[in-house]
């Protein structure tokens, strides 16, 4: 493991006091998994609750990615994994983890804006109980009480506001900027009607789409610096293996 950072609602500053703890980390796969023939999953998930059971207060959800898979997702602009580069609550960090975060300007590009839009649209669909992964709302009690899933609505609004910030500044503020966070928390708490929620979220989505489509807006590079990312990936694996990996045939010999 080279880095582990808090992600999820609490990392964004949107916690309600009844949230689980979401963590994400990156690890270096073994030489056998990377250049040998040993099987590898490239990522794994560890949850306090069994799979399919909703997490609650005090539960921990940990997602760990092999470095190569993490970099593939991050250079593609995946909003979920980008949080690891900017999150302020760090649970574990090695020098390689520090260098990964320093590399953020080479990893993150304007293409991330389109991924934020895509994720936002997914939250909008689930806000009403749809979505590819579920035909019913994951929180029907919220739909019954407010007419829509307020948690999905809050995250849809968050994605719009954070996507705009990323385009305009080239970075993300975590926890969110006060004015953005307060609006998202109000949404999660059900302080807006369904019609007001639609106006806010769709209005923010339109602003994000305009920002993404303005090619001259903001400091982000058009595409990731893949040469720099590849150099880091090679270096990180080599450095980690030299420090921690010892072939079996060398066991018992002097270093």
Phi, psi of 3 (to 5 degrees): -160, 145
- Rounded to two decimals, the pTM is 0.89
Helix orientation angle between 178-188 and 194-213, rounded to the nearest 10 degrees: 140
For 4, the enclosing helix (H) or strand (E) is strand 3-7
Instruction: Write down the pLDDT at residue 136.
Output: 47
Spatial separation of the C-alpha atoms in residues 108 and 169, rounded to whole Å: 12
**136-147 mean pLDDT:** 78
pLDDT band at 52; cut points 50, 70, 90: low
C-beta separation of 176 from 12 below 8 A: yes
- Tens-place pLDDT, residues 166-206: 999 999 999 999 999 999 999 999 999 999 999 999 999 99
| Each residue's pLDDT tens digit, 64-113 | 999 999 999 999 999 999 999 999 999 999 999 999 999 999 999 999 99
């Amino acid at each position: 493991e080279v880095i582990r950072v808090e992600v999820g609602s609490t990392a964004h500053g949107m916690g309600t006091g009844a949230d689980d703890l979401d963590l994400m980390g990156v690890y270096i796969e073994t030489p056998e998994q990377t250049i040998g023939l040993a099987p590898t999953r490239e990522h794994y998930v560890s949850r306090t609750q069994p799979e399919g059971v909703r997490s609650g207060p005090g539960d921990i959800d940990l997602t760990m990615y092999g470095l190569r898979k993490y970099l593939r997702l991050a250079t593609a602009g995946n909003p979920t994994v980008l949080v690891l580069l900017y999150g302020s609550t760090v649970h574990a960090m090695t020098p390689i983890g520090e260098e990964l975060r320093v590399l953020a300007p080479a990893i993150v590009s304007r293409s991330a804006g389109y991924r934020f839009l895509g994720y936002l649209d997914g939250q909008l669909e689930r806000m009403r109980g749809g979505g590819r992964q579920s035909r019913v709302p994951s929180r029907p009690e919220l739909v019954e009480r407010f007419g829509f899933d307020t948690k999905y609505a809050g995250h849809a609004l968050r994605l719009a506001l954070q996507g705009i910030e990323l385009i305009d500044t080239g970075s993300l503020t975590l926890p969110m900027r006060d004015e953005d966070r307060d609006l998202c928390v109000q949404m999660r708490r059900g302080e807006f009607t369904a019609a007001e929620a639609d106006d806010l979220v769709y209005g923010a989505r339109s602003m994000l789409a305009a920002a993404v489509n303005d090619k001259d807006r903001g400091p982000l590079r058009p595409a990731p610096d893949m040469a720099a990312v590849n150099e880091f990936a090679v270096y990180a694996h080599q450095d980690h293996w030299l420090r921690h990996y010892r072939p079996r045939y060398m066991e018992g010999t002097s270093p």
